[in-house]
Structure 1
Amino acid sequence: MTTSSLELASLLCSRLCHDMLSPVGALTNGLELLADEKDPVMRQRCFELLEQSARISADKLKFFRLAFGAAGGFGELVPVNEARVLVDALVANNARIAVTWTLPSDALPKPAVKTLLNFALIGIDALPRGGTLELAAELRQGTSEIVVRASGTRIAFDGDIGRALDGSLPESELSSRTAPAAMLAQLAASLGGELQYALGEGALVLGAVLPGA
């Protein structure tokens, strides 16, 4: 593993830990409240909060395991419904975001699924006030085509994420926020593929063409 790969892996771990801190912290707080609470109604409420936090934690871990890690190995076809379940679970507790899917293919290669999941993550982050997340992916003649569109009243998109996607962000400027985009750029380059993004008024569009994936 090169120094660059080590740095990228470290930043991805930092991103994962950052996103897991809130639900895991809620579990700790819930247990502390439960230890001191005597009222049956309030104890039941604590149990409900603990169950919710545990579910959110599990959903995020499953998402990141495939989005950042090597779940299931490499070079395999992954059912597209698996990606759909992971994304839907990630936004299940955010009623402000509506998700729509267009998935003509039953399965996609692992690099394409990783790209789809990370595009979804970028799209979710771009909708702090809610909106619509549209995801489409298809495998045609050995090439995966992926499009994710995030639209809403306010789009929050860090320009450094765009630079990481097109490979123009210097390694010295990488952060845990831009690491997923940098990973996608390396993945696309290794396949001879292409990533694109377009930011307009009220919408962010992310696209990928991945030969052999």
Structure 2
Amino acid sequence: MTTQLDLAALLCSRLCHDMLSPVGALNNGLELLADEKDPAMRQRCIELLEQSARVSAHKLKFFRLAYGAAGGFGEHVPAEEPHELLTALTSADERVTLEWAVSEATLSKPAVKMLLNLAAMGLDSLVRGGTLSVGAERNDGATEIAIRAAGPRIAFDKTIGLALTGDLPAEELSGRTAPAHMIHLLTEAENGGVQYHHGDDALVLGAVLPDADGMIG
């Protein structure tokens, strides 16, 4: 059985892993800037530092909403918040296109957490680029979320799918599968449902979360 402490440790491991690259780039850039005398090269170093700083800030904002308590917001979060985060993350790869189809002005915190984590799984699967489509709407007392990642050679680790459905043994959980396990626990706590389908050229992930006073059987 995975305790809350175990899950927190695994999520911290995932966060540190994902932050290592942009923070490392900042450190390397500062070292190069300290030794570089050529004005053109110094300007290039500054541009790279600015880029790494933006990536770091976007990732931290993502983790705040996807993993954390999303302090600073009420029970609902403006839909523009996850939209801006996913726009920033997808723009870092010119091979990836984001299609946003969220009709709601606000989403509940659990729905935002679900949407961002599923979208991240879809984005990770686009190893050769493609289109990430993100949709969400409220319907019959529940929020329906649909993520579709389409492109050549979609990559999706089957252990992530098992963690998402709660079928991965606790002793096999890792930083890589911890977000999917967290989504599984969130789905159970909210009396919702989550599913996925992995094909050669597309990965589809869907979730349904009832309103606070509702329940999905």
Q: What TM-score does the superposition give when structure 2 sets the normalisation length?
A: 0.94
Summarize the alignment of residues 169-184 of structure 1 with structure 2, pairs less than 5 Å apart: 169-184=168-183
Alignment match, 1:154: 153
Alignment match, 1:59: 58
Alignment match, 1:26: 25
> Any idea what the Cα deviations from partners look like across 1:128-154, whole Å, max 9, x if unmatched?
110000000012243110000001101
Change (3 A) 1:209 1:170: same
Extract unaligned runs of 5+ from structure 1. Answer: none
Is 2:96 the counterpart of 1:71?
no
- After TM superposition, the structure 1 stretch with the greater mean CA deviation from structure 2, 195-204 or 136-145, is 136-145
Please say if residues 194 and 207 of structure 2, whose CA atoms lie closer than 8 Å, have aligned partners that are also in contact: yes
Summarize the alignment of residues 112-123 of structure 1 with structure 2, pairs less than 5 Å apart: 112-123=111-122
Deviation of residue 20 (structure 1)? 0.4
Cα distance in 1 between the residues matched to 2:2 and 2:55:
33
Extract unaligned runs of 5+ from structure 2. Answer: 213-217
Deviation of residue 3 (structure 1)? 5.8
Please say if residues 149 and 203 of structure 2, whose CA atoms lie closer than 8 Å, have aligned partners that are also in contact: yes
**Paired amino acid for 2:177:** T
Change (3 A) 1:74 1:194: farther
Is 2:141 the counterpart of 1:142?
yes
Deviation of residue 201 (structure 1)? 2.4
Deviation of residue 89 (structure 1)? 0.8
Cα distance in 2 between the residues matched to 1:158 and 1:76:
33
The percent identity for this pair of structures is: 63
Summarize the alignment of residues 1-213 of structure 1 with structure 2, pairs less than 5 Å apart: 4-72=3-71, 76-212=75-211
Q: What TM-score does the superposition give when structure 1 sets the normalisation length?
A: 0.96
Cα distance in 2 between the residues matched to 1:117 and 1:189:
18
Cα distance in 2 between the residues matched to 1:108 and 1:33:
43
Change (3 A) 1:119 1:37: same
Alignment match, 2:215: none
**Paired amino acid for 1:153:** P
Structure 1 consecutive aligned stretches of length 4 or more whose deviation exceeds 4 Å: none
**Paired amino acid for 2:99:** T
Change (3 A) 1:120 1:172: same
- Root mean square deviation, CA, Å: 1.4
